[in-house]
Amino acid sequence: MAVGARTGQDEPEERPEDGERYRDPDGGEEGAVKGKKQRSFWKELPILIGIALLLALLIKTFLLQAFSIPSDSMQNTLQRGDRVLVDKLTPWFGSEPERGEVVVFHDPGRWLGEMPETESGPVASAVRNVLSAVGLMPSAEDKDLIKRVIGVGGDTVECKKTGPVEVNGKALDETYLHPGDTPCGDKEFGPIKIPEDRIWVMGDHRQNSLDSRYHQDLPGNGTVPVDEVVGRAVVVAWPLDRWSTLPVPDTFDQRGLNAVAAGAAPAALGFAGAVPLVLWRRRRLLARDAGGAAGTSPAAVSGAAPVTVTEKPERDG
């Protein structure tokens, strides 16, 4: 019996390179492509940058915007060079500035004066415009300020001599002031009645803040229109070692600060409660008058003069 012998060793199967098609060993048609080439990172990079810029633009427009602190007027709460995040969402739902909040607002008119224009090349200007559009840099055209709201529309504010500042007759305990400053600074004011839809603002560094006190000769008597407010500063985001929130100080929550509103509320409630009582009493009077008219004599109804009967007193017999 003859035994067959192997004439050679098994050869390894040849595999097609990535992206090449292979033919079925049984003579079938070409198979599927094995493997796909990865898209180049450099081709995807512009798409990623575009998406990032779009998201930044949406966040800046509707949620939060970063602002840089350019001066010392809010020390020690804020330092020059700090970056704060400003809430731009709640104003879309009708929220307005409240006492004690730190707000960013546009220059209401001649507060900053004429700002010198900084010269830069076309490339630097283009880069700055793009970054400011998405909120990563302040715009060269925007003239924004940051101060603390002391009074809102309807409030009466004043500060005499060295203070304290009073709102609706209530003294503020301003523990957030720059050490060594007095509440009035070197500019006393008031009493000033704040018009509706406007706010009275002051810096925490009273000796170094050109705020509402110094613009009483302008329209609005130093107040700022609510429409010019960009939003409330809620967080110090940069530098990281200064990260902190910006809450409303407790002194703005003291009882009686809303004296004007509190005095008007009982009057309004009293009026609302008196209306039903007046209507009820009027209905009772009308019903009584109608009942009395139904029980009158025919002579009175016909218009005849009523007959008066006079009884003669009896004489003693």
For the annotated catalytic residues, the residue numbers are 73, 147
Q: Are the CB atoms for 237 and 243 separated by under 8 Å?
A: yes
- Locate all alpha helices (DSSP H) within the chain, ordered by sequence: 41-62, 122-133, 259-294, 298-302
Residue in the block written with tokens 């970054």: 131
What does each C-alpha distance from 208 to 73, 75, 143, 158 come to in angstroms? 5, 9, 19, 19
> 171: buried, middle or exposed (CB in 10 Å: 19+, 13-18, 0-12)?
middle
CB atoms within 10 A of CB 63: 15
Give the residues across from 193 on adjacent strands.
156
> Which residues are CB-neighbours of 117 under 8 A, at least 6 positions away?
140
Q: Show the tokens assigned to 258.
A: 């809303």
Q: What is the distance between the alpha carbons of residues 194 and 203, in angstroms, rounded to a whole number? A: 18
Q: What is the distance between the alpha carbons of residues 51 and 227, in angstroms, rounded to a whole number? A: 31
> Which residues are CB-neighbours of 136 under 8 A, at least 6 positions away?
56, 66
Residue type at 134? V
Residue in the block written with tokens 């004007």: 260
Q: Show the tokens assigned to 65.
A: 């915007």
Q: Which of 261, 259, 258, 252 is nearest to 102 (CA)?
A: 252
Q: Show the tokens assigned to 222.
A: 């130093």
Q: What is the distance between the alpha carbons of residues 287 and 289, in angstroms, rounded to a whole number? A: 5
